[in-house]
Amino acid sequence: MGWLRLALVGTLTVTACGDDVGPSAASTSTSPTTAPASTTSAPPVTEPPTTTGLPSATDDPDALPAIQSASDAPGVVVIEASPFPDWVTVAGDSAWVANVDDGVARYDHSTGELLGSVPTGTNICLAMDVAFDSLWVGDCGSTTLLRVGLTSGAIEATIALPLSSITEESSVAAGPDGVFVLGDRGTKIVHIEPADNSVTSTFAAPAAASALRTDAGALWATSSATSLLTRLDPSSGAELATVDVGAGARFFAIGEGSVWVMNNDEGTVSRVDPSSNSVVATIVVSDGPIGGGDMAVGGGYAWARVSDALVSQIDAATNVVVARYGLPSGSGSVAADDDAVWISAHDVHRVWRIPIV
């Protein structure tokens, strides 16, 4: 992100970014270098269960692993990208990085080779998402939603949104119940029907909403102001449950049976069980507050794009941070699938692809 991305493959992700959108001028990316080797009602909010089946989380900043150089990771691919590589999404055989060249750059997922770019412009100020064989991209300059074909790599629809603005540092939410965009300073949610790319409804967002994600039968919204994760009915926008997470809650991702919420002000991640709408683990991922950031899930891990490093890797089986890659390089985004994690850093015009082993 300028703040968030997250992207997941086969589930859902959010990516993130920096504190503003990048410049409109385009430039050319260089070649990569490879280092060696129907709506379901939600249950009411409950107290965290006494038995969750999940081990205790990392709760001590001093216990965080030492930061490894991302550029020295085995098999890493380092890509120079300009003018402002930010939100990252992994889908199919490609990784998509916003605000590169004249829009969204498309890289070969295995090699990091630049395959081309989608001419969306560089006013992408929120995380992208993937569903319905498409990449969904919010253009904050024109207040439109762009639908990009995953196979064609072309813009297949431009959807005008009934909003005065798209909420920056938020996220498009795409899933089985449709596509959703947050706008008008976090006060409205627009629902798009992918069958015909039409706007089907607009409803009020939860108070001070920051970002959206969706899964089957549920639309989720965070609020950095209220420290809440809210579960909504995706067809009506009715609030079904609220979950107290942490201060500065914004970027989040869905996967491994959980909702993973980054709490920027605390430097933690809250793991939420959607079957009980409760926090089952709180994991320290940074030695201080996080500026910008993003969350992703992939390869059996949750990935937190932090500030004191590039990313913290959380083992979903243990809720423990098992690795941290750096060095610190400002803000950006993160996305992952079963094969690799992709990390962007717009301040240094760089993207890393690190194999998951």
Determine the pLDDT at residue 66. 96
- Buried (b) or exposed (e) across 80-109, using 16+ Cβ within 10 A? ebbbbbbbbbbbeebbbbbbbbbbbbbbeb
φ, ψ for residue 272, nearest 5 deg: -110, 130
pLDDT in tens, 170-202: 999 999 999 999 999 999 999 999 999 999 999
Residues 97, 158: Cα–Cα separation, whole Å = 19
CATH number for position 295? 2.130.10.10
| β-bridge mates for residue 215, sequence order | 218
- CA 307, CA 204: separation in Å to the nearest integer? 32
Tokens of 131: 């569903």
Residue 92: what pLDDT?
Answer: 81
Give backbone dihedrals phi and psi of 70, rounded to 5 degrees, phi first.
-60, -35
The structural domain count of the chain equals: 1
Mean pLDDT on 3-28: 37
Predicted pLDDT at 58: 54
What is the predicted pLDDT for the residue at 63? 85
pLDDT of residue 9: 35
State how far the Cα of 141 lies from the Cα of 128, in Å rounded to an integer: 15
Q: For 36-82, how does the pLDDT look when each residue is reduced to its tens digit (9 = 90+)?
A: 433 333 343 333 333 334 444 556 666 899 999 999 999 999 999 99
* Exposure b/e, 271-292, CB count within 10 A at least 16 = b: bbbbebbbbbbbbbbbeebbeb
Residue at 159 is within a domain: yes
Distance of CA 111 to the CA centre of its chain: 22
Say what the pTM is: 0.86
DSSP string, 294-344: EEEEETTEEEEE-SSSSEEEEETTTTEEEEEEE-------EEE-SSEEEEE
Q: How confident is the model at residue 33 (pLDDT cuts 50, 70, 90)?
A: very low
Question: What is the extent of the structural domain holding 84?
Answer: 4-36+58-355
By C-alpha distance, which of 301, 311, 296, 300 is closest to 345? Answer: 311
Residue 12, pLDDT score: 38
CA distance 16 to 18: 7
Q: How sure is the predictor about 1, in pLDDT bands with cuts at 50, 70 and 90?
A: low
Residue-wise pLDDT tens digits, 331-347: 999 999 999 999 999 99
Name residue, tokens 């629809």: 157
Report residue 341 as tokens: 């994690």
265 found inside a domain = yes
Whether 42 maps to a domain, the answer reads: no
- Determine the average pLDDT of the residues in 304-320: 98
Residue 167 domain flag: yes
Of 57 and 86, more confident: 86
